[in-house]
Amino acid sequence: MVGEICNIGLPCEMYKACPKLCLIYRAEECFKRAIQLDPGDAEVISQYANFLWLVREDLWGAEERFQQAMAAEPENSFHASRYASFLWNTGAEDTCYPLDSPQDMT
């Protein structure tokens, strides 16, 4: 039926045309809801950062979430290692996190 809404809040025509896009939309809504329910859950924030990076290819958003995860659990090196992997794999050229150059370290 035209104008009908599917169970994830999108027009049914859109779901039928591209079910993968709808699953991505649904996954992102679940991440946002989980973070809203527990904003300090570093694991969820870190998983959302991976989703933004690898699925949505939103490097800016991913970097912000990786930093939020590290701030939520600064003693947890796992989140720092995920962020380091992100920086390594993306080249860290447009990072919003201030990185020291080798010249600054001397």
Domain assignment present for 24: yes
**Residue 37, domain extent:** 12-90
Domain assignment present for 7: no
Apex CA 5: angle with CA 3 and CA 10, to 5°? 110
Quote the number of domains for the chain: 1
Domain assignment present for 4: no
Domain assignment present for 75: yes
Residue 59 belongs to a domain with what CATH number? 1.25.40.10
Neighbours of 21 (CB within 10 A): 12
Q: Name the pTM for this structure.
A: 0.73
Statement: residue 13 has pLDDT above 90: no
* Number of separate helices (H) and strands (E) present in the chain: 5, 0
Residue pLDDT, tens place only, 30-86: 999 999 999 999 999 999 999 999 999 999 999 999 999 999 999 999 999 999 999
